[in-house]
Amino acid sequence: MKCMADLCVIPIGQGVSVADEIAQCQRILACFDIDTELHAYGTTLYGDWDEVFAAIKACHAELHEAGVTRLSSTIKVGTRTDKDQTFADKKNAVTERLAKD
Q: What is the pTM of this model?
A: 0.89
Q: What is the pLDDT along the chain (101 residues), one digit of tens a residue?
A: 999 999 999 999 888 899 999 999 999 999 999 999 999 999 999 999 999 999 999 999 999 999 999 999 999 999 999 988 888 888 889 999 999 88
Tell me which H or E stretch contains 98. helix 87-99
Walk across the sheet containing 35-39 and list its strands.
35-39, 42-48, 2-12, 70-78
Max CA distance (Å), the chain: 50
Report the CATH fold assignment for 2-99.
Alpha-Beta Plaits (3.30.70)
**Residue ranges of the domains in the chain?**
2-99
